[in-house]
Amino acid sequence: MTVNEIKSILAADVLCCECLLENDVLSACGSDMMSDVLAFAKEQAVLLTGLVNPQVVRTAEMMDMKCIVFVRGKHPEEDIVTLAKDRNIILLCTDLEMFTSCGLLFAHGLQGGGGKK
Amino acid sequence: MSILKLHFKVDGSDFTRAGEASGEVKKILKELGFNPDVIRNVSIAMYEGEINMVIHAGGGEIDVEISPEVISIVLTDRGPGIEDVALAMKEGYSTASDNIRSLGFGAGMGLPNIKKYTDEMVIDTKVGAGTVIRLKVFVT
């Protein structure tokens, strides 16, 4: 699934890196706990979160994630957008809640991590 | 490639800057052309260690040695130390406050994640004196 498809499915706004929207993502992780995200090692993943602070971007950076979706209408401050832009991480914002966002992406074929290995 | 040594001071008073050292190491490893899996393992382990220093120990210092065969990371702090290392290694166990949890950490996954992403992990800790964590990620 491309990030552009995720944008459409979640009726999301793009905050940065619009030129990368055709990038593919293969899996998704939804959490407000960054340590749980760091336990999830998947290639080309998208992170869905309701947490808004610079560590969300740094977590995505360490995990080589392509895109972060802020759910529940959360909007990051400009410094967070700049941090993501510098790392080529696409930021999306949706008014949908976490459960609904994850459910919609799953229904459209995006997979999770498959649980603890 | 000779051995590259890096030293970082981690400011314990600024949570927003936690992770800068790990980001810098990740950038250097990419420039040196290391395998992406090795880079990710080193970055995640160091980042968890760096976050731990900030949220539990008021900051500290990190020494990184990069050689073609192994990447070694030593995280040193003068924080409160870890009372029960075995318990701290259990997934889900945390002494973090609600304030730290509201920042997205303190889920009790920090040390287990560090172990998961490294080949060697040794913890030297003394209550009231601090903690030294030595990590190795082998390249081949």
- When pLDDT is cut at 50, 70 and 90, the band that residue B108 belongs to is confident
Task: Compute φ and ψ for A93, nearest 5 degrees.
Answer: -130, 130
Q: What is the pLDDT of residues B22-66, one digit of tens each?
A: 999 999 999 999 999 999 999 999 999 999 999 999 999 999 999
- When pLDDT is cut at 50, 70 and 90, the band that residue A26 belongs to is very high
Of B3-7, B25-29, B100-104, which range is least confident? B100-104
Report DSSP letters for chain B, one per residue: ---EEEEEEEETT-GGGTTHHHHHHHHHHHHTT--HHHHHHHHHHHHHHHHHHHHHHSEEEEEEEE-SSEEEEEEEE-SS--S-HHHHTSTT-----HHHHHTT--SS-HHHHHHHT-SEEEEEEETTTEEEEEEEEE--
Flag whether A66 is in a domain: yes
- When pLDDT is cut at 50, 70 and 90, the band that residue A6 belongs to is very high
**B16: nearest CB among A41, A54, A59:** A54
Chain A hits for B109, Cβ within 8 Å: 33, 35-36, 38-39
Across all residues in chain A, what is the average pLDDT?
93
Flag whether A72 is in a domain: yes
How many residue pairs bridge chain A and chain B with CB atoms within 8 Å of each other?
73
Give the domain range for residue A39.
3-107
Question: Is residue A117 scored above 60 in pLDDT?
Answer: no
Flag whether A113 is in a domain: no
Closest CA to A62 of B72, B117, B67: B117
- When pLDDT is cut at 50, 70 and 90, the band that residue A116 belongs to is low
CB–CB contact B104 A55 (8 Å): yes
**A55: nearest CB among B18, B107, B110:** B18
Question: Is residue B2 scored above 70 in pLDDT?
Answer: yes
Across all residues in chain B, what is the average pLDDT?
94
Question: How many domains would you assign to chain B?
Answer: 1
Give the domain range for residue B33.
4-138
Flag whether A48 is in a domain: yes
CA distance A33 to chain B (A): 4
CB–CB contact B40 A62 (8 Å): yes
**A53: nearest CB among B22, B36, B104:** B104
Task: Please list, in sequence order, all residues whose beta carbon lies within 8 angstroms of the beta carbon of residue A79, skipping any fewer than 6 positions away.
Answer: A54, B16
CA distance B43 to chain A (A): 6
pLDDT at A41: 66
Q: Which residue of A has its CA nearest to B44?
A: A62
CB–CB contact B109 A35 (8 Å): yes
CA distance B73 to chain A (A): 16
Flag whether A115 is in a domain: no
Question: How many domains would you assign to chain A?
Answer: 1
Q: What is the pLDDT of residues B109-130, one digit of tens each?
A: 899 999 999 999 999 999 999 9
Q: What is the pLDDT of residues A40-71, one digit of tens each?
A: 767 789 999 999 999 999 999 999 999 999 99
pLDDT at A14: 98
pTM above 0.80, yes or no: yes
CB–CB contact A62 B110 (8 Å): no
pLDDT at A115: 57
Question: Is residue A16 scored above 60 in pLDDT?
Answer: yes
**What is the CATH classification number for the domain harbouring B63?**
3.30.565.10
Task: Please list, in sequence order, all residues whose beta carbon lies within 8 angstroms of the beta carbon of residue B114, skipping any fewer than 6 positions away.
Answer: B45, B48, B49, B121, B133, B135
State how far the Cα of A99 lies from the Cα of B28, in Å rounded to an integer.
Answer: 38
Mean pLDDT in residue range B73-101 = 92
pLDDT at A8: 98
Q: Could you tell me where the beta strands, DSSP code E, fall in A7-85?
A: 13-16, 27-30, 45-49, 67-70
**What is the CATH classification number for the domain harbouring A40?**
3.40.1390.20
Flag whether A47 is in a domain: yes
pLDDT at A71: 98
Task: Please list, in sequence order, all residues whose beta carbon lies within 8 angstroms of the beta carbon of residue B31, skipping any fewer than 6 positions away.
Answer: none
**B104: nearest CB among A33, A41, A61:** A33
State how far the Cα of B124 lies from the Cα of B81, in Å rounded to an integer.
Answer: 9
Instruction: Give CA angle at B85 (B138, B110), nearest 5°.
Output: 60
